[in-house]
Chain A
Amino acid sequence: MQQDPVANLPEAAGAGEGEGGGEGGGVVGGAGEGGDRLAADCLTIWQSELAALAADPELGELRAALEALRPDPALRR
């Protein structure tokens, strides 16, 4: 019902529609200083994502719910 606020808020960080390049903008080959920075960003983003997932209360709920399910032996293979 409600999301993506800045898309409706063009004054925020120059983040209005049509700014910042189109789809696929900023494509790089991955070499040199820019490539190192890109690789470091990518790695750190995923590390932070995994840390966030580990602390996610909703995933904790899902894990508990799954553990409470009785496995069907016929589905083990």
Chain B
Amino acid sequence: MSGSAEAGAVLAGPMRRRGPRPLMLHLAGPVLEAMQSGTPAVGTDAALLAGIAAYRRHPFERRLVEPPVIWREGSARLLDYGEDQGAPTVLVVPSLVNRAHVLDLMEGRSLLRFLAAGGLRPLLLDWGWPGPADRRLGLAGHVERVMRAHQAANGGGAMLGYCMGGLLALAAGVLAPRAPRGLALLATPWDFHAEDADEARRLAAMLPMLEPLMALTGALPVDVLQMAFALPPERGRIAAKYRAFGAAPQEGAAAELFVALEDWVNDGVPLAAPVARECLTEWYGGNLPGRGEWRVAGQAIWPAELKLPGLIALPAADRIVPPGSARGLARAWPAASLLEPPLGHVGMVVGSRAPEAVWRPLRDWLRALPGLM
């Protein structure tokens, strides 16, 4: 597309995408907050609307070719990013509440392709859109799935978990009959009460209100999850970034990165109801991991007992998994190496400073694992 045609498409073309979600929350949020605070007048937020319109009209499309699928179970698939089938495998376990492709976002912003170019064979466990059978699985069922994927990956490689996937990978590392060669945990929560225990308990207290909704489809809907991440003050930050996007040049790499990331954020997946219940009660409400009382399939998940090399990457500017929560994991696993990049939760995997601050140290740590290469 030529520059002028692209500019025209951005200004007046069809709207191609959805977001921010839920739209009503983002548009009506300021009005509700003004009513709550007694502020008399709230006008139309033209800059926010312009930003949302610009995002929805943007012509960017993610064009990365998906690698081969080497294993399936339910809706989950194991994607083989390896350039060399004989290279040592790294099973990569992402979160259950977002699409897996944040680890392979776009050209030049792909942790997985970087690791593959570094002589490793990343195998991404893409959880997919949960079907009826997937929605019956709790945390133990998902951990067992990670273990079977580890087995499908020859059972001899390393494991890497990101965010909530770090907890699943950690439990699989404890329970797997054949332990991984090493376990890297990126932005993984552990001590859910480390920074704001009351907020965590308030989140857990929402469960009874969510039950009727989950009873309908067996899952926590995407927009409910999105709402949880868009509550104040986060909603204000989301609005600010859309306003900034609407006022910024619509061509070029920065605009494409914004669109790619927002597409990923707004393309969520429902969370299986049994997992939602366990996360809210055992993690946010009871803080069982942080208290050393978390059990999966009856077995205690206590990282200090792991007899394998570990790496914990703890992004210092993380607002999704508070650094204090992830630091609890470092305390619980003192033998693990610690990496503290000055980045945010997603910036640590796709930001411009991620290659230097996270990707290279991670690759070098994996390559140095005894018996892996």
Contacts and interface: CB of A to CB of B under 8 A. Distances in A.
Interface of A: 1-9, 11-30, 34, 37-38, 41-42, 44-45, 47-49, 52, 57-58, 61-62, 65-66
A12 B47 contact: no
B45 to A, nearest CB: 6
A47 B346 CA distance: 31
B48 A26 contact: yes
Contacts of B222: 58
Contacts of B319: 4, 7-8
Contacts of A25: 45, 47, 243
Interface in B326-373: 343-347, 350-352
Interface in B13-59: 14-15, 18, 23, 30, 33, 42-53, 56
B237 interface: yes
A58 B270 contact: yes
Contacts of B230: 3-4
A11 B248 CA distance: 12
Interface in B51-96: 51-53, 56, 95
Contact of A34 (B15, B18, B46, B347): B46
A68 to B, nearest CB: 9
Given A3-B226, A6-B262, A34-B46, A14 B240 contact: no
**Closest 6 A-B residue pairs measured CB to CB?**
A8-B344, A26-B47, A20-B244, A5-B346, A27-B43, A48-B15
Given A23-B30, A24-B30, A61-B217, A11 B240 contact: no
B22 to A, nearest CB: 10
Interface string B209-231: 00000001100011100100110
Nearest to A65: B216
B137 interface: no
Q: Which of B217, B240, B257, B343 has the most CB of A within 10 A?
A: B240
Nearest to B43: A27
B320 interface: yes
B288 interface: no
B351 A20 contact: no
Contacts of A12: 241, 254, 257-258, 261
A27 B239 CA distance: 13
Contact of A13 (B46, B229, B257, B343): B257
Given A45-B56, A62-B216, A6 B43 contact: no
B195 interface: no
Nearest to A25: B47
B97 interface: yes
B217 A28 contact: no
Given A24-B45, A41-B49, 12 more contacts: A2-B98, A4-B319, A5-B350, A16-B244, A19-B240, A20-B242, A23-B30, A23-B236, A45-B15, A48-B15, A52-B18, A66-B216
Contacts of B44: 27-28, 30, 38
A63 to B, nearest CB: 10
B102 interface: yes
Interface in B265-285: 265, 270, 279
Contacts of B239: 23
Contact of A42 (B49, B315, B320, B346): B49
A27 B30 CA distance: 12
A61 B18 CA distance: 19
A52 B331 CA distance: 45
B265 A5 contact: yes
A47 B18 CA distance: 11
A2 B15 contact: no
